A and B are shown apart, each in its own frame.
Chain A
Amino acid sequence: MSNKLTYQITKGIIKENPVLRLVLGTCPTLAITTAASNAIGMGVAATIVLICSNAVISMLRKFIPDKVRIPAYITIIAGFVSIVQMLVKAFAPELNSTLGIYLPLIVVNCIILGRAEMFASKNKVLPSVLDGLGMGIGFTAALLCMSIIRELFGNGTIFSIPILSNFIDPILIFILPPGGFFVFGILVAIANKLSDNKDNSQKNSCAGCPRGKSCSIVSDKEGTCNV
């Protein structure tokens, strides 16, 4: 039993990493990873929202009628995001100014709605909380990994501590938008290379996405498969 619970945490970090394996939450991953400190702030904020919303949705899973499931989840998630937003504004104003619009946009981060729909609505409270924790850690780890690469090459620092800037000129493009796409692409390629069964990740990607169902309607019509 305890093994199973540990699995709920660890699966999110490597095997089902939300960013690199399930390819969810790409927008904040690309946007705020210009500095390692931003990644920590974003990761922690999203993790708190993820744990709380998973817990509440799991608690209410028997009361919420199927028809209004999605609006109910969105309201709960938006509530927690607003609370986190107010706390950040009050106690960490610098984080608020660096994350800017991406802080309220945690609402539409597919990781959170995806976990609510795929996991919390079908499982008991404790596994749901652990699932949220694991996914949150996985999200933070991926953000951190990406931001360290981008900050190191693009600015010559890590956590604002000079590392490379004394030896070489920083390669600016890494902290500009194109660098975000490029580093993310390389990281996904590495994650694919390291994992044994590549096809499995493609399936996971659609199953983990809250829009998977409508997406497949589109792809049926046009005969394309998404991502």
Chain B
Amino acid sequence: MFKALAACFLASILTENYILNRFLGICPFLGVSKKLNTAMGMSSAVTFVMVLATAVTWPIYTYLLLPNKLEYLQTVVFILIIATLVQLVETILKKYIPSLYNSLGIYLPLITTNCAVLGVTMLVIEKGSIDPSFGYINSLVNAFGAGIGFLVAMAIFAGVRQRLEKCNIPKTLQGLPITLIAASLVAVSFLGFQGLIDGLLA
């Protein structure tokens, strides 16, 4: 049980990395990765919303939509839940914990339409439908792992970009193109993790 959860957690960070292997959440990856502290703030907010969204959408899907044969409402229901949740968290933080709001809250409006959040809530449902033993706890661990994976990729990439600032880049490649090519090289390094997880826990 514990081993399976650990494998699931590590896999969602390294081999199933949402940014570098599944291409979810590319916008913040390219947009907010110029400085390490913004990158960390953004990815902490994403991790928080991912776990919270999975915690809410999973029971709603399993106990409300599925028994009533309403699976076709999944997309609409999930995106509305995420949008409401993000708004709610933002309002609560603003009112009661202003210090946290200042460090995390400003990223929240950016997350509503982040495909990584909607992606993780849908992927855990999909995993659960293939393998029934993949339950609520696994889903939450997977969501948390996905968030940490997001954070790891963002942190590494922020470091790469800070180096890039000091480089002399040909004019045509300045800006977005060189950022994408740098991302490509970071993605190569994540390819190396494939096959690692089973070896680690075997």
A and B touch in the complex (CB under 8 A): yes
- Main secondary structure, interface of B, reads helix
Shortest CB–CB separation between residue B125 and chain A, in angstroms?
10
Contact status of A226 and B80, CB under 8 A, knowing A82-B72, A101-B126: no
Q: Which of A88-119 contact B (CB under 8 A)?
A: 101, 104-105, 107-110, 113
What's the Cα separation between A79 and B75 when bound, in Å? Answer: 8
Contact status of A104 and B74, CB under 8 A, knowing A27-B23, A71-B80: yes
Contact status of A189 and B79, CB under 8 A, knowing A177-B191, A181-B183: no
With a CB–CB cut-off of 8 A, which chain B residues contact A227? Answer: 30-31, 175-176, 179
Q: From A54-62, A156-164, A209-217, give the one contacting chain B.
A: A209-217
With a CB–CB cut-off of 8 A, which chain B residues contact A221? Answer: 106
Would you list 6 pairs from A and B whose C-beta atoms are within 8 A, ordered by A residue? A26-B23, A101-B126, A113-B113, A185-B183, A211-B113, A218-B106
With a CB–CB cut-off of 8 A, which chain A residues contact B21? Answer: 177
- Are A78's CB and B80's CB within 8 A? yes
Does A65 belong to the interface (CB within 8 Å)? no
Binding site for A on B (CB under 8 A): 20-27, 30-32, 34-35, 37-38, 42, 72-76, 79-80, 83-84, 106-107, 109-110, 112-115, 118-119, 122-123, 126, 172-173, 175-181, 183-185, 187-188, 190-191
Contact status of A30 and B31, CB under 8 A, knowing A181-B184, A182-B181: no
Q: Which of A31-65 contact B (CB under 8 A)?
A: 31
Chain A: residues with Cβ within 8 Å of the partner, total of 52
* Cross-chain contact of B176 among A23, A82, A173, A193 (Cβ < 8 A): A23
* Cross-chain contact of A180 among B23, B109, B173 (Cβ < 8 A): B23
Residue of B nearest to A223 (CB): B35
- Main secondary structure, interface of A, reads helix
With a CB–CB cut-off of 8 A, which chain B residues contact A211? Answer: 27, 109-110, 113
What's the Cα separation between A27 and B38 when bound, in Å? Answer: 21
With a CB–CB cut-off of 8 A, which chain A residues contact B80? Answer: 71, 74-75, 78
What's the Cα separation between A82 and B122 when bound, in Å? Answer: 13
Q: A31-B22, A70-B83, A177-B21 are in contact. List 13 more A-B contacts (CB 8 A).
A: A26-B30, A75-B76, A82-B73, A105-B122, A107-B79, A113-B113, A178-B185, A178-B187, A182-B181, A185-B183, A189-B177, A226-B34, A227-B176
- Are A181's CB and B110's CB within 8 A? no
With a CB–CB cut-off of 8 A, which chain B residues contact A123? Answer: none
